[in-house]
Structure 1
Amino acid sequence: MKRNYINLILSVATLLGLASCTDFLDVKPEDKMLEETVFANKQGVNLALNGLYVKMAGANLYGENLTLSTVEVLGQRYNLSSLNGTFYSASQYNWAESPVSGRMSNVWGDAYSTIMNINRFLQNLEANPGIIDAKTDSIYRGEAIAMRAMLHFDVLRLFGPRYSTADSTQISIPYYDKLENVARPLLPANEVMKNIVADLNHAEKLLVNDPVITLGVRSTTTSTDAMMNRNYRFNYFAVKALQARVNLYRGDKAIALAAAKAVIDNASKFPWTTLANSNEKVNPDRIFSTEMILGAYTTALYTEHNILFLESLEDNVILSPTDKLLKSVFEVDPTTGAGVGGNDYRFKLNWDVPSATSTKTYRTFNKYADITRKTFGFRNTIPLLKISEMYYIAAECEPDQNQALNYLMTVRTNRGLDPLTSVPNLQNEIFKEYQKEFFGEGQLFFYYKRTNAATIPSGVDGAPAIKMDASKYVVPLPQSESQFH
C-alpha cells in the first residue's frame, strides 16, 4: 500500500466504511453495484484489500485509539488532570462518561464494520474466481483472515473479561467469520479465542507462499506491488507474531514460544535498529522501522501527533508523563541523569528535552513527530508488531531460565543497555521492558490485564497506585450494541 495512490485507496475505503456492526448487516443495492465494479479486475481487488488496511489505520482503531492515545491512557502512561476533558474519564475508568464511552463505541463500531468488510471481501473473492491468480488469491485471503483475527482479538482484550482460568468462560463479544444479515450472539471468551486461533492457523496455511519467507520485506517507496513492503501487510511472519501474542494471552506458553521462535529464527529479515541509523539528526527513525513485522500507514499521523503530543500544547491538554515517572520507567536518576537507562535508545530518541522557550518541566513525546525528508519509507507509520516483542514472549515462555535471560538480553543490548549477568525476577524485568518499549503502541494496558495486575502505577504525579479489578479492566459493551444481545 504505497503513497502514490493512497487517495484512490481512501476513496474505496470511504465507500466500504459503515458506522457499526449492526448497521453493516444491511447490504443495500448500491453497495452490491459497488462490489461488482470493484471486483471486475485485479486493480479493483487490490484497492478493496488496501481499503481494509486504510480502515484499520483510521483514528478509531490503530491510527490513534488503540495505539497513541486511549489505550495508553488506560495503562496510566500520562499525567492527566480533571481539566483534560478528552481523556480524564478514561484514566479514571469512568466508562459511562461521554468522552471515554464515545471513544470505546467508536472502537467497537469501526472494528466490527471493518470485520464485516473483510468478510464481504472474502465472499467476493469466492464469488469471482479467476480475477487474480491462485497464488495471489491465497495470499490475499490469508491477509484478510489474519486482519479479522487481529480485530476480534483487540476487541476481546478491551471488552472481554480478564482471561484467567476463572474468567475465560464468561460471556464476551460476538465473532463474525462470514457476511450475514443477522447479529451474532455473544460468546464465552474462550470460544472467541478458539475462533481467533483457528483464523490465524488458516491464515498461516494460506500464506505459505508469501514471498516474505524467502525474500524478506523488500522495502521500496516507488512500487505499488502488493508483494513489496510486506511489513505493511499481514505477511506470514506477522501471522506467526500474532499467534505468539494471542497464545501468550490465552495462557498457552508452549504454542506462544514456538510461534515467537519461528519469527526469531528469521530475525535477519527484521534487523535491529542501531543508534547510528536511528539518531540521524534531521530524519531519525524513532519507530525502529527495520524491526517492524507489521505496521499501520496513516497520512493523519502527524496531525494526530500535533493534537496529542506537541510541546506547545497546554499542560491540561498534552499527553505526557511527569519527568519523575518517565525517568523512573527508564531507570534514570531524576537529579543526575545517571542510571542504566541514560543510554537507552528509546529514552534518547523519543523524548524531547524542553526547548529554551518552553515553560515545560518535563520531556515531551516525539516518537511520531514528522521528519524533514518526505521520501523516507517509515513516514506515516505506527508499528503494530515488532521483533522485540517476540524476544519478550520467548523470554516469558522459555522454561530454560538461562535461555530466557538470553532472549531478554538480546533486546537490552540492542537498545544500548548493558547486559544483566543475573536476574532475580525475570518477569519483573520483562515488565520493565514493556514499559519502555511500547510507548505509543498500546500494549502496556493489555500486559496489565493479561497478568491480572492488582495495581497499576498512577500516571498522576504523587498519586497512589490504582487498585484494579474487573470493573476497571473490562470495558462495558457500547449501549448501541448491548440492546441487541
Structure 2
Amino acid sequence: MKRNYINLILTAAALLGLASCQNFLDVKPEDQLLEQTVFSNKQGVNLALNGLYTRMAGGSLYGENLTLSTVEVLGQRYNLNSLNGAFYPASQYAYAESSVTGRTGAIWNEAYATIMNINHFLKNLDVNPNLIDAKTDSIYRGEVIAMRAMLHFDVLRLFGPRYSTADSTQISIPYYDKVENVARPLLPANEVMKNIVTDLNTAEKLLKSDPVITAGVMSTTTSTDMMMNRNYRFNYFAVKALQARVNLYRGDKALALAAAKIVIQDASKFPWTTFANSNEKVNPDRIFSTEMILGAFTTQLYSAHNRLFLETLEDNTILAPTDKILKSVFEIDDSGAGVGARDYRLRLNWEQPSSTSTKPYRTFSKYADISKKTLGFRNTIPLLKISEMYYIAAECESDQNQALTYLNTVRTNRGLDALTSAPNLQNELLKEYKKEFYGEGQLFFYYKRTNTASIQSGVDGAPAIAMNASTYVVPLPLSESQYH
C-alpha cells in the first residue's frame, strides 16, 4: 500500500483505542469523548473502520497468534523440543504454563476488545445516521458484523469444545452483539454457533450491493477508496466463504456446500496463481494473492517473520519442521524426487539452506519480505482462499466423482497430477490441508473439527500424540473465569 494509506490505517489504530485488552468491559469517560470525536464526519467513520481491521491484524490475533505461531504450534507444524522455551509448552498442550497462557489470553482479550469496538462502531452508525450514504452504511455494517462473527468463531474453535461430538452442547464462550458494560454468560457451543450463523446471514444481506459482486476485488496500490481492495475487507464472497467454513465445522454439509459453490461459481474473481507468475525471483507472490478472498494487512509481518522463521535463527529459536517431516508432508523421497517435488507450495515457500548455512532443513519463507515495496500483496496474511472452497466442496459433495473433480482442481493448480481415484478422500483432503495452510492456522482446527484421535508429532521420530478434550480445548483465561 502507499505510505499515505499505511499512515491512515495506523492513525485509525490509535483512534480506535476504545477498550483495554485487559478488560474489554471497561469504558472510561475519556474513551467516550474520543468516540464522539471520531464519529463526527465520514472521514472519522472510515478511520474507525480501518482501525478495526488494523486491530484484527495485530499480533495477538491474525497477525501472528492465529496464523503464524501459536495455533500452528498446536497443530504440530514445527520441530520443537525442551530447548525451545517460547513455544515448547504449547506444543505439549501445557495450557497452564505462563508462556502459553500469555498467548492464549492475548487471543481472548484482544478478540473481545475488538468485538466490543465493533459493537461501538455499529452503535455510532445508529446514533449518527447522516455521516455516510445508505449504500455505504449497509456495506460497512455488513463488513463489521461478519468480522464479529469470525472473531467469535475462532475464539469458539480454540476455547470451545470439540463440536463434532456431543460436546457441542457444552458451555463455551460468551457472545457479544451489542454494547454492554456487564459480562455476558457463557453459552453452550451450539448457541454460540447459532449467533455466528445469524450474524453471517445478516452480513450477507447487508452486502448484496458490494461492488465485489460485479467488479471483483479491484486491487490498487494508489487509492484509499474504501470500496477498492475488497479482498482486504469482509466482502460478500468472504462472507459466503466463512459461511462454508462455519457450516462445515458445525456439521451441516449441505449448507457448507451451497455456500462454497456460490464462491466457486465466481472463482474467476480469485484466479489461480501460476508457478511462472509466483516464481518471480526478486519479488515472488508466495501467498498466492490473486486467490485470496480475505486477507489481513499488517506492517509488522516481516518483523514477525524474522523473529520466527529467519534462516539465521538458532535451532532452538526458529519455527521450522525437520527435513524428514517436510518431505513426508509434500510426498517426496530422500533425494527430493517424487510428484510432490513439483508442488508450487514447496518450491516457493520453503527455502533450501544457503551455502553458508549449517541447517539440514528448509526454512519457511512464505512471509519473507520482497524488495519492491509497492506491490499490493506485501504485508499480507491470507485468511480465506479459493482453494479452501474447493476442499470444502470436495468434503461435502455426495457425488464422489464430482468431489474428486473439486479436489483435482486444486491439485492441478498447484503443479500436481490429478488423482484418477481417491478411495479415502478424507485422507487426501488432510494431505492438502497440511500442504496448503502452512502459516495460516487451519490445520489444528481441521484436527479438532474431525476429532482426530492422534496426530503426528512435530518432533521427528516421536510417537503420534493422542488427542482428546484436554488437548483440543484451550482453557478459558483466568481473567474470564472471575466473571462466571
What range describes the TM-score normalised by the shorter chain of this pair?
A: over 0.9
Within 5 A, what are the aligned runs for 1:468-483? 468-483=467-482
1:11-37 deviation line (CA, Å, top 9, x unaligned): 332342366577222322211211111
Are 1:437 and 2:413 an aligned pair?
Answer: no
The Cα RMSD (Å) is 1.1
**What residue number does 2:343 align with?**
344
> Which residue matches 1:453?
452
Partner of residue 215, structure 1: 215
Could you tell me which residue of structure 1 aligns to residue 385 of structure 2? 386
Q: Structure 2: which amino acid aligns with 1:183?
A: A
1:177-219 deviation per Cα after TM superposition (whole angstroms, max 9, x unaligned): 0001110000000000000000000000000000000000010
Q: Distance in 2 between matches of 1:90 and 1:139?
A: 39
For this pair of structures, how many residues does the alignment match?
484
The 8 Å contact of residues 294 and 384 in structure 1, kept in 2 or not, is answered as yes
Match in the other structure for 1:367:
366
Which SS does the other structure have where 1:193 is aligned?
helix
CA contact (8 A) 1:210 1:236 kept: yes
Match of 2:289 in 1: 289
Give the conservation status (yes or no) of the 8 Å contact 2:2–2:374: no
1:226 equivalent to 2:226? Answer yes
Separation (CA, whole Å) in 2 of partners of 1:36 and 1:21: 21
The residue correspondences of 1:5-404 to structure 2 (distance < 5 A) are 5-17=5-17, 23-334=23-334, 336-404=335-403
Match of 2:164, SS state, is coil
Q: Distance in 2 between matches of 1:338 and 1:9?
A: 45
Q: Distance in 2 between matches of 1:194 and 1:400?
A: 28
Tell me how far apart the structure 1 counterparts of residues 20 and 168 of structure 2 sit (CA, whole Å): 26
For 1:220-256, what per-residue CA distance to the aligned partner results, in whole angstroms no more than 9, with x for missing partners? 0000001000000000000000000000000000000
SS in 2 for 1:89: helix
Q: Which amino acid aligns with 2:425?
A: L
Cα contact 1:20–1:112 (8 A) shared by 2:
no
Which is worse superposed, 35-44 or 143-152? Answer: 35-44
**Contact 2:352 2:363 survives alignment (8 Å):** yes
Q: Where does residue 424 of structure 1 map in the other structure?
A: 423
- C-alpha change, 1:22 and 1:323, in structure 2 (3 Å) is closer
| Cα distance in 1 for residues equivalent to 2:204 and 2:306 | 38
| Distance in 2 between residues matched to 1:5 and 1:229, nearest whole Å | 12
| Structure 1 CA distance for aligned equivalents of residues 6 and 405 of structure 2 | 42
C-alpha distance in 1 between matches for 2:222 and 2:22? 40
Task: Tell me how far apart the structure 1 counterparts of residues 20 and 26 of structure 2 sit (CA, whole Å).
Answer: 11
SS of 2:296's partner is strand
Shift in Å at residue 338 of structure 1? 1.3
Q: Contact 2:20 / 2:26 at 8 angstroms: preserved in 1?
A: no
SS in 1 for 2:169: coil
Is the contact made by 2:68 and 2:439 (CA closer than 8 Å) also made in structure 1?
Answer: yes
Do the aligned residues in 2 keep the contact of 1:81 with 1:460 (CA within 8 Å)?
Answer: yes
Any unmatched runs of 5+ in structure 1?
Answer: none
TM-score of the superposed pair, with normalisation by structure 1: 0.98
C-alpha distance 109-2 of structure 1, shift in aligned 2 (>3 A): farther
Shift of the 373–21 alpha-carbon distance from structure 1 to 2, 3 Å rule, reads: closer
Alpha-carbon separation, structure 1, partners of 2:20 and 2:252 = 32
- On the 8 A contact 1:3/1:221 being kept in 2, the answer is no
Cα distance in 1 for residues equivalent to 2:81 and 2:125: 50
Runs of 4+ in 1 over 4 A off after TM superposition: 18-22
User: Which secondary structure does the structure 1 equivalent of 2:342 belong to?
Assistant: coil
Distance (whole Å) between structure 2 residues aligned to residue 38 and residue 78 of structure 1: 43
Counterpart residue type for residue 356 of structure 1 = S
Provide the C-alpha distance between the structure 2 equivalents of 1:12 and 1:133, rounded to a whole number of angstroms.
21
State the AA in 1 paired with 2:243: Q
* SS of equivalent to 2:115: helix
Give the aligned residue type for 1:222. Answer: T
Alpha-carbon distance in 1 for matches of 2:173, 2:456: 29
Partner secondary structure for residue 295 of structure 1 = strand
Checking the alignment, whether the CA contact within 8 Å between 2:19 and 2:116 is kept in structure 1 is no
Output the amino acid matched with 2:80. L
Structure 2: where are the runs of 5+ without partners?
A: none
Structure 2: which amino acid aligns with 1:24? F
State whether residues 73 and 90 of structure 1, in contact with CA within 8 Å, keep that contact through their aligned partners in structure 2: yes
Residue 295 of structure 2 aligns to a residue whose secondary structure is strand
10-19 or 292-301: bigger deviation: 10-19
What secondary structure, in the 3-state scheme, does the structure 2 residue paired with 1:190 have? helix
**Per-residue Cα deviation, 1:249-281 (whole angstroms, up to 9, x for no partner):** 000000000000000000000000000100000
Amino acid of the structure 1 residue aligned with 2:209: N
Q: Secondary structure at the match of 1:296?
A: strand
Cα distance change on mapping 1:90 and 1:196 into 2, 3 Å:
same
> What SS does the corresponding residue of 1:210 show, helix, strand or coil?
coil
Aligned counterparts of 2:187 and 2:156: Cα–Cα separation in 1 = 10
Rounded to whole Å, the distance in 2 between the matches of 1:19 and 1:120 is 10
Structure 2 residue identity aligned to 1:364:
T
Task: Kindly provide the amino acid, as one letter, of the partner of residue 406 in structure 1.
Answer: T
Task: Work out the CA distance in 1 between the residues paired with 2:165 and 2:79.
Answer: 34
C-alpha change, 1:105 and 1:18, in structure 2 (3 Å) is farther
Report the alpha carbon displacement of residue 5 of structure 1 after superposing the two structures with TM: 2.9
Q: Give the partner amino acid of 2:454.
A: T
Matched residue SS, 1:191: helix
Distance 1:43 1:20 in 2: 24
Q: Cα gap change, 1:238/1:2 in structure 2, threshold over 3 Å: closer, same or farther? A: farther
Which amino acid in structure 1 is aligned with residue 377 of structure 2?
F
Cα displacement (A) at 1:165: 3.7
Distance 1:290 1:346 in 2: 15
What residue in structure 1 maps to residue 407 of structure 2? 408
Structure 2 contact 156–172 (Cα < 8 Å) conserved: yes
